[in-house]
Amino acid sequence: MCQGNPACGSVLIPVLALSSKLCYDAAAMSKPDFLTSDGTAGKPEPMDLFRDPMGGPELRALYGSIWKLSWPVFLSEGIHSVVSMINRVIVSQLGEKAFNSVNVGLMVFLLIITVIAAVAVGTTALVAQSWGAGDRRKAGQVLQQSLLFGLLLTLVITLLGMPLSRITYYLLGADQETVTLGSQYLFWLFAALPLLAPGFFMAAALRGAGDTKTPMIVGIFMGLVSLLLSYGLILGRLGMPRLETLGAALAIDGSFTFYTLVMAILFLFNRNVLKLPVSGWRLDLRLGASIFKIGIPSALEWILIQFGILIYVFIIYRYGNAAAAGYFTGIAILAFAQTPAFGIQTATTILVGQAIGARDFGRAESAFRHTTFLGFILMAAIGGLIYFAFTPTTLSWLFGKLTAESIAFSRLYVVLLVFVLPLMGIALPMAGGLRGAGDTVPPLIASTVGVYGGRILLAMGAYHLFHPSVLVIWCSMFPDLILRIAIMALRLASGRWKRAKI
């Protein structure tokens, strides 16, 4: 009955979420009491979500740490987002269908990247906790194992993904031209995956050790490589062949392979704070299990989010290519606008992880309070900026080959982002901090309930019952984020995140 309709799969998601929650609650009941900061057994105290006792020089030092850890990520992610937007502008010169095919392919590829994130998230959290406990040797071993297990994982994904590239577009209801253009694009992204992923793991380990600058610097050069390759291979400039959508895929492959090679050279010549062990290059099942224990819930969370977004795209496609192009343009702007929140999220992960490793739970709580406050204020300001920056005139200039109707839809999505971004500024640091503590199941539950209970259920129900404008469908973002924040706030207030065991 559901064959060819991915939206039908959303019926199973609440069952998944409920099963995860039941298993999680059962496991939590069986856990022994956690160790307090003085090493004695005790119970975790509830957390006051709003009042914070930290002040004076200690508070200034905390804000200094947040800034030191977040600005390189903010700058790096911002550059990547600008590069991604420019690449989308270049692809838009090929027409609306090529533009949509590449954007759908990117969304599918991001779904696959979230599986690899199981290794990256576990790496960051374990390195941060080892670093906070003063165990530098174990931090290096964590990276070593993440590279080994990550390589095996990416090989499996590549072998499975390459033959499924065309089927994916058919399942999303794309027309034949979009299927032809997009399947070739996605095929070559899958093919290069084993070369792309190690760079993610090395960057994740460095961030866990508190070094967010090195990934930023290498990322800046990667962005430049991406722009040159995209401009040359998509449009046939700079003496390169005109490969159009295939060129877009090869540009991504080439830039990320460059990133991995440079990161590998830095580690080989010991140019990082974190040292990669020379010996011991064999699978350590125990340490690998610890990495995946933290990472799998986060990966499952992001897989469910990305799968939900694909269902969301399936619904949006019912409104035509113009609405879909407007949505993809809005997503490109969102990718740029949310980069400050990702910087603060990374800072929260590191600060909470290192505080937990040092058994300093008061500092971990303060990190949560102040990063979520900063996230809200900063993202509200970003929302105001994009409202005035991305006017219909600006959008028409950037995406000149898109139709006037697509530009109108894009502007509508930008207006919604003004109100969505402050909520993201709260949700992302909350989730990042819980992952840093090793408590990765609550963000999974929050995202599952938010995306499928708040966004997909309302969007599908509204579409099938009332056939409203696409604006109503897009407004389902609000209950999604509100539900996520509420669930994670309850977890934080309980204090039970402090006893997460690795």
Structural contact between residues 399 and 414, judged by C-beta atoms closer than 8 angstroms: no
pLDDT of the residue at 72: 87
3-state secondary structure 430-489: HHHHHHHCCCCHHHHHHHHHHHHHHHHHHHHHHHHHHCCCHHHHHCCHHHHHHHHHHHHH
Query: b/e per residue, 351-369, with b = 16+ CB within 10 A?
Result: bbbbbbbbbebebbbbbbb
pLDDT of the residue at 42: 59
**Per-10-residue mean pLDDT for the chain, 502 residues long?**
38 38 40 48 80 91 92 82 81 83 81 78 88 89 92 90 81 76 86 88 91 89 92 92 90 92 92 86 90 83 81 88 90 89 92 89 94 96 96 91 91 96 96 90 92 92 92 94 96 87 55
Contacts of 228 (CB under 8 A, 6+ apart): 238
How many domains is the chain partitioned into structurally?
1
Q: Please name the residue that has the structure tokens 């192009």.
A: 325
Round to the nearest angstrom and report the end-to-end CA distance of the chain. 42
Q: Is residue 36 part of a domain?
A: no
The CA distances from residue 30 to 23, 24, 162, 317, 367, in Å, are 11, 10, 42, 46, 28
Structural domain span for residue 332: 6-24+48-499
Q: Is residue 161 part of a domain?
A: yes
**What is the distance between the alpha carbons of residues 442 and 293, in angstroms, rounded to a whole number?**
14
Q: Is residue 213 part of a domain?
A: yes
Q: Is residue 67 part of a domain?
A: yes
Structural contact between residues 28 and 496, judged by C-beta atoms closer than 8 angstroms: yes
Q: Is residue 484 part of a domain?
A: yes
The CA distances from residue 279 to 172, 283, 471, in Å, are 47, 12, 57
Comparing C-alpha atoms, which of 496, 494, 436 is closest to residue 32? 496
Q: Is residue 185 part of a domain?
A: yes
pLDDT of the residue at 301: 80
pTM: 0.73
- 3-state secondary structure at position 189: helix
Q: Is residue 135 part of a domain?
A: yes
Q: Is residue 41 part of a domain?
A: no
**What is the distance between the alpha carbons of residues 413 and 398, in angstroms, rounded to a whole number?**
16
The CA distances from residue 419 to 330, 383, 423, 426, 482, in Å, are 14, 7, 8, 13, 12
Q: Please name the residue that has the structure tokens 């939206």.
A: 7
Query: b/e per residue, 453-490, with b = 16+ CB within 10 A?
Result: bbbbbbbbebbeeeeeebeebbbbbbebbebbbebbbe
Question: Within a 10 A sphere around the Cβ of 109, how many other Cβ atoms?
Answer: 21
pLDDT of the residue at 32: 43
